[in-house]
């Protein structure tokens, strides 16, 4: 962290001894060219005692731009530069929510697509309706999404909204814009510790996990970006889909689902190896089956290690591979007596018994991998199926 980034408070102190009525949280990532205009418009729109909090993940001099603008405007600003961007943009918002002291916390972007002059209106609407959450909506009557750059962005925005509402119909009932990044939340209704964001759709995370008592919407015109480039990307889109799955299924269930998908994918290399060894090289089918099983184990290990438990690879590669291989082969041996018990003693059919043994051994393998082989860690997860 640079020296200037450590200066948490800049500008005029917040007036009075009581907490401010409004805190504004702005997450930033390389937004230096937007800062002057954003702060000028915010200062003109909000009460003088409003708390302004920037949580920054930038690699440029956005932090310095915030400090310089705050000193020129003589306004109280708190800047927190995170050395590690845990949770992406959503993680920055949660950090701001934890630091905010206001009765209402307004979250908005720094690119001026969210109009600063709407901040007092969001809070007033919440106070008037005794609401816990006020959403600035592009889709309610009076709002628009004209600031979306092109037809592709509009389709993605509408599609993600429909997908989220289809997965969380009861929670999002009556909310037209759960993908909005512009909202106000009553501080007393919020427990930031329950939020575990992944990417930039923090409002969806907030609604699903905290279930606000009363939600109202205020229309707004989604404007064009003032300066800089959009942070939307294919990677963020994939993170959003993963986030939806985690919110719907939970981390453990999603991890197990991913592990099952890897296991299914291992059938193909197993069968291909078996066919090649028997048909091309004339290897006896029993010997070929053993070799093919090792190929499938190797395939499954690579995918499991890379995608499912990537953030929990505490042991060495050889140790992980060895333990995985032992599990895979013990599975093969253990299923035989279990199958004999189910068919011979309990009277199950061969196919039914085989299915039961596969399910039982799958659960045991996953439990061993999840609890013993891949040790849990507090490090943020970059894997496909895990989040912090």
DSSP string, 30-93: S-HHHHHHHHHHHHHHS-TT-EEEEEE--SSSHHHHHHHHHHHHT--EEEEE-SS-TTHHHHHH
Q: Residues 4-249: name the CATH superfamily.
A: Spore Coat Polysaccharide Biosynthesis Protein SpsA; Chain A (3.90.550.10)
**pLDDT single digits (tens) 38-93:** 999 999 999 999 999 999 999 899 999 999 999 988 778 999 999 888 878 888 99
Confidence of residue 380 (pLDDT cuts 50, 70, 90): very low
Considering only CA atoms, which of 176, 170, 81, 79 is closest in space to residue 135? 176
The tokens 């060219």 sit on which residue? 33
Residue 249 φ then ψ, to 5°? -105, -30
Rounded to an integer, the average pLDDT of 161-176 is 81
The Cβ of residue 35 has, within 10 Å, a number of other Cβ atoms equal to 25
Give me the mean pLDDT over the 257-272 stretch.
Answer: 84
Least confident of 3-7, 249-253, 358-362: 3-7
- How far, in Å, CA of 202 to CA of 87, rounded? 10
Predicted confidence at residue 16, as pLDDT, reads 47
**pLDDT score for 386:** 40
Task: Supply 289's token pair.
Answer: 């089956």
Question: Cα separation of 318 and 217, whole Å?
Answer: 55
Give the domain ranges of the chain.
Answer: 4-249, 251-373
Contact (Cβ atoms closer than 8 angstroms) between residue 239 and residue 199: yes
This prediction has a pTM of 0.65
Phi, psi of 185 (to 5 degrees): -125, 135
CA-atom Rg of the chain in angstroms: 27
pLDDT at residue 320, as a whole number = 93
Q: What is the pLDDT of residues 349-358, one digit of tens each?
A: 756 766 677 6
pLDDT for 9: 45
| Closest by CA position to 98, among listed 192, 169, 202 | 192
Task: Identify whether the C-beta of residue 206 lies closer than 8 Å to the C-beta of residue 133.
Answer: yes
Q: How far apart are the first and last CA of the chain?
A: 23
Length in residues, the chain? 388
Please state, in angstroms and rounded to a whole number, the distance separating the CA atoms of residues 388 and 386.
7
Instruction: Supply the pLDDT for residue 284.
Output: 85
Residue 106, SS3 per DSSP: strand
| Region 243-271 average pLDDT | 77
How many other CB atoms are there within 10 angstroms of residue 319's CB atom? 12
- Average pLDDT score over residue span 311-326: 89
Residue 232: predicted pLDDT: 57
Query: Tokens at residue 312, please?
Result: 């929990």
Distance CA 287, CA 299 (A): 19
Residues 6+ apart with CB under 8 A from 345: none
Band of the pLDDT at 110, cuts 50, 70, 90?
very high
């Amino acid at each position: 962290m640079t020296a200037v980034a450590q200066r948490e408070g800049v500008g005029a102190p917040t007036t009075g001894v009581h907490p401010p009525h409004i805190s504004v949280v702005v997450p930033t990532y390389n937004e230096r060219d937007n800062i002057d205009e954003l702060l000028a418009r915010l200062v003109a729109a909000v009460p003088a005692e409003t708390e302004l909090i920037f949580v920054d993940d930038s690699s440029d001099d956005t932090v310095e731009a915030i400090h310089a603008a705050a000193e020129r405007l003589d306004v109280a600003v708190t800047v927190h530069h995170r050395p590690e961007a845990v949770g992406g943009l959503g993680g920055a918002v949660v950090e701001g929510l934890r630091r905010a002291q206001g009765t209402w916390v307004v979250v908005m972007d720094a690119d001026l697509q969210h109009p600063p002059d709407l901040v007092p209106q969001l809070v007033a609407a919440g106070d008037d309706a005794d609401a816990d959450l006020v959403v600035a909506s592009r889709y309610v009557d009076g709002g628009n999404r004209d600031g979306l750059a092109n037809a592709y962005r509009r389709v993605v925005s509408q599609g993600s909204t429909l997908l989220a509402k289809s997965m969380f119909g009861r929670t999002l009932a009556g909310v037209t814009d759960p993908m909005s990044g512009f909202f106000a939340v009553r501080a007393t209704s919020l427990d930031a510790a329950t939020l575990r964001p992944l990417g930039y759709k923090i409002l969806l995370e907030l609604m699903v996990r905290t279930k606000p008592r009363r939600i109202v919407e205020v229309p707004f015109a989604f404007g064009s970006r003032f300066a800089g480039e959009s942070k939307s990307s294919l990677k963020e889109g994939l993170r959003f889909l993963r986030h939806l799955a985690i919110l719907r299924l939970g981390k453990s269930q999603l991890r197990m689902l991913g592990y099952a998908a890897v296991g299914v994918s291992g059938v193909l290399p197993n069968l291909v190896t078996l066919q090649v060894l028997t048909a091309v090289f004339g290897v006896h089918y029993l010997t070929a089956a053993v070799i093919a099983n090792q190929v499938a184990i190797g395939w499954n290990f690579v995918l499991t290690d890379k995608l499912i438990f990537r953030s929990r690879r505490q042991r060495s590669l050889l140790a992980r591979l060895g333990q995985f291989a032992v599990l895979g082969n013990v599975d093969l041996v253990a299923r035989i007596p279990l199958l004999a018990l189910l068919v011979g003693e309990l009277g199950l059919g061969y196919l039914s018994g085989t299915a039961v043994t596969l399910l039982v051994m799958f659960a045991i393998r996953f439990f061993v991998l999840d609890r013993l082989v891949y040790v849990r860690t507090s490090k943020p997860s970059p894997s496909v199926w895990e989040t912090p």
